[in-house]
Amino acid sequence: MNNTHKFLGIAVATLLAATVQAQHTEPVVTYNGEAGRIINENCVVCHREGGIGPMQFESYEQVRPWAPLIQFKVANREMPPYAYDQGIGIQDLQGDWRLQQADIDTLVAWVNQGAPLGDPDSPLLAPELGDPSEWNFVAELGAPDLVIASIPIDIPADGNDIWDNHYVPSGVTADRCIKAIQVKPRGEAKSVVHHANSSIEVFNEEGELERHSQLTEYAMGKWGELVPADVCRTLPSNSMVRWGIHMFPGGLGSIAPGTVIEDNVVEIGLWLHPLGYEKEVGYSQDLRQYSIQFERSEREVKLVIPPNGYQMTQGFHSFDHPVRIDSFQPHGHLRLVAASLEIFHPTTGEIEAISQISNWSATWHHSHLYEPDVAPLLPEGDVLVLKQWYDNTAANPNNPDPDQWVVGGSRTADEMTHAWIAVTHLDDEGYEKLLAERKEKLTRAVAGND
Ligand code: HEC
């Protein structure tokens, strides 16, 4: 045992003694202590003046009346809004909003003790955050390099779903690789823009537009997408962006304004790698919609959920080359309650759990981004197994009408069954190289712990 270890040993022993003592008198949790810190770090970003949360948590006076509801939402892992199951599959995600269990326990204990303020002489100040209408990646990446805006659209206060498809130029004059993307409805529009798809089209030799790839996908509550640094997701020169914006007049959820919204504009913020980046990285990544259960053209007629009943869908996809799965985002509407991604390994017969979301809600669409070191690496022939579960009973809090037959379709009242998955396309050499790099990191980590 070297000196550091000896010192650590003594420190641990002292800590243990302190914990044993503390068990007699329950540790006091206060707002000016730990409780406020947890709220400042995890909630204020949305729950503040101009933020997307319906109430503000910037001071003790603002937080105190909500303490019981905060306890309930946090204990049930409904807030922060990031439904992703603990303990199933990959847990290392980028942009993961989930609280640590210890922080949940602290907030619960604080409310049980009457949500006290604590020492009035050392007040806790709300964090200095940027403008709430700012782009989400500003802190890490600065302002976007490129903003592509849709044309303005007026949305009535109520009525049926509206779709708007139109083209705008991408504005790039050389091929570029995308580093990060966020789609942002301006101002009040965030509560009525149900989703906004954008694809890239390029002119062929006849001067006609042809689809090149999916640029990104936005659905209510989505934060953004980060592309791993070792691949190129291409935005080609002189391309056009085709918008497909789906709006729900009046809005969804508790932030719905129920009013006319004029000049609704949806913007895509793009952070780009320097020119020529595609030559530095060997492989390309794309984002695609992977159907669950039915072929796209047939989906609309086959997905049927009976009144006061349930449905479950399954889809299978494999590749004729090795791939890496970089992100996973289920998609459905008001009756979708759970989704999962598994991988079937035909050589061993095993099924591996990758991601599961048992408490899915249509107001929060997250693209779950796997940390690069744990993103699933699939040899040719491995099978993605996608599952989604629908609840059309009154027990589903999002269900507007359990007595309706619900079928596949694009309206908010219809259902969909697919997932958005970002895939890096590899060859055998790239696959072996990534596997070897991971193995080496693991060996080094184990050696480092010795
Ligand atoms: C990404 C933004 C965001 C973050 C982060 C966030 N909230 Fe919320 N919160 C919302 C929105 C939007 C709503 C209203 C819509 C909904 O319920 O989904 C809400 C609703 C709530 C409600 C009221 C629910 C109701 O039934 O009226 C409580 C309580 C709450 N949040 C607490 C918290 C706490 C505590 C945290 C941090 C631990 C937190 N929120 C983090 C956006 C956020």
Q: How far is the CA of 97 from the centre of ligand 1 (A)?
A: 12
Q: Ligand 1, closest atom to CA 363?
A: 18
Asked whether residue 7 carries a pLDDT value surpassing 50, the answer given is no
**What spacing in Å lies between the alpha carbon of 43 and ligand 1's midpoint?**
7
* 321 touches 377 (CB < 8 A): no
Q: Mean pLDDT over residues 163-172, rounded?
A: 92
Query: Residues with Cβ within 6 A of ligand 1?
Result: 42-43, 45-47, 52-54, 66, 69-70, 73-74, 79-81, 97, 99, 253-255, 363
- What confidence score (pLDDT) does residue 365 get? 82
- For residue 88, what are the CA distances in angstroms to 184, 245, 440? 31, 34, 25
Rg (CA), the chain: 24
Distance CA 317, CA 221 (A): 27
How far apart are the C-alpha atoms of 269 and 136, rounded to whole Å? 10
pLDDT of residue 21: 46
The residue contributing the CA closest to ligand 1 atom 31 is 79
Write out pLDDT tens, residues 60-114. Answer: 999 999 999 999 999 999 999 999 999 999 999 988 999 999 999 999 999 999 9
Looking from the CA of residue 223, the nearest atom of ligand 1 is 1
432 compared with 154, residue with greater pLDDT: 432
- The whole-number pLDDT of residue 19 equals 47
pLDDT at residue 252, as a whole number: 58
Tell me the domain boundaries of the chain: 3-112, 136-279, 282-450
Ligand 1: distance of its center to the CA of 59 in Å? 16
Q: Are 243 and 164 in contact (CB under 8 A)?
A: yes
| pLDDT reported for residue 8 | 47
Burial class (CB in 10 A: 0-12, 13-18, 19+), 156: middle
Average pLDDT over residues 241-252: 81
Mean pLDDT of the residues in the chain: 87
Cα(81) to ligand 1 centroid in Å equals: 7
End-to-end CA distance of the chain: 12
d(CA 183, CA 56): 24
**Average pLDDT rounded to a whole number, residues 134-138:** 87
Would you say residue 300 has pLDDT above 50? no
Smallest CA separation from ligand 1 atom 26, residue: 69
- The pLDDT value given to residue 296: 52
pLDDT for res 9: 47
The single-letter code of the amino acid at 163 is W
Ligand 1 atom 13 nearest Cα: 53
Here the tokens at position 242 are 């085709």
Backbone angles phi, psi at 247, to 5 degrees: -120, 150
**pLDDT at 223 exceeding the cut of 90:** no
pLDDT at 10 over 70: no
Asked if residue 377 has pLDDT above 90, the reply is yes
Give the angle 228-234-238 at the CA atoms, nearest 5°: 150
Q: What per-residue confidence (pLDDT) applies to 251?
A: 65
Residue 16, pLDDT > 50, answer no
Q: How close is the Cα of 245 to the center of ligand 1, in Å?
A: 26
What would the CATH number be for the domain defined by 136-279?
Answer: 2.60.120.230
Ligand 1 mean position, distance from CA 33 (Å):
21
Cα separation, 84 vs 67, in Å, equals 24
CA atoms of 225 and 216, how far apart (whole Å) = 8
Compute the half-sphere exposure of residue 61: CA atoms within 13 Å on the CB side of its CA: 1
**With bands split at pLDDT 50, 70 and 90, how would you rate the model's confidence at 436?**
very high
Residues, the chain: 450
pLDDT for the residue numbered 103: 97
pLDDT for position 306: 94
Whole-number pLDDT of residue 413:
83
Of residues 160 and 84, more confidence is placed in 84
pLDDT at 255 over 60: no
Reported confidence tier of residue 218, pLDDT bands at 50, 70, 90: confident
Confidence of residue 22 (pLDDT cuts 50, 70, 90): very low
Ligand 1 atom nearest 52 alpha carbon: 12
Spacing, Cα 306 to ligand 1 middle (Å)? 32
Which of 73 and 294 is assigned the larger pLDDT? 73
Please indicate whether residue 53 or residue 24 has the higher confidence score (pLDDT).
53
Q: Is the dihedral of CA 165, 219, 294, 307 positive or negative?
A: negative
Q: State the greatest distance between any 2 C-alpha atoms of the chain, in Å, as a whole number.
A: 81
- Atom 20, ligand 1: residue with shortest CA distance: 53
Indicate if the pLDDT at residue 295 is higher than 80.
no
Distance separating alpha carbons of residues 443 and 225, to the nearest angstrom:
31
Q: What integer pLDDT is reported at residue 225 of this predicted model? A: 87
Q: Tell the residue nearest (CA) to atom 19 of ligand 1.
A: 53
Distance of CA 348 from the midpoint of ligand 1 (Å)? 43
pLDDT at 256: 55
pLDDT over threshold 60, residue 4: no
Q: How far is CA 335 from CA 57, 218, 403, 413, in A?
A: 31, 19, 12, 9
pLDDT tens readout for residues 320-355: 999 999 999 999 999 999 999 999 999 999 999 999
Cβ atoms of residues 329 and 197 within 8 Å = no
- CATH fit for domain 282-450, picks 3.90.120.10, 3.40.109.10, 2.60.120.230, 1.20.1530.20: 2.60.120.230
In the reported structure, the alpha carbon of residue 80 is separated from the centroid of ligand 1 by a whole-number distance in angstroms of 6
- The predicted pLDDT at position 364 comes to 83
31 token code pair: 């707002």
Please give the Cα distance from 391 to 399 (Å, whole number): 8
Express each pLDDT in 312-328 by its tens digit: 999 999 999 999 999 99
Q: Which atom from ligand 1 is nearest to the alpha carbon of 364?
A: 18
Query: What value does the mean pLDDT take over residues 207-218?
Result: 87
Token couple for 199: 């694809």
Place of tokens 């997701």: 233
**Most informative mutation of 37, 40, 47, 220 for ligand 1 (most atoms within 8 A of CB):** 47
CA distance linking residue 384 with residue 381, whole number of Å = 10
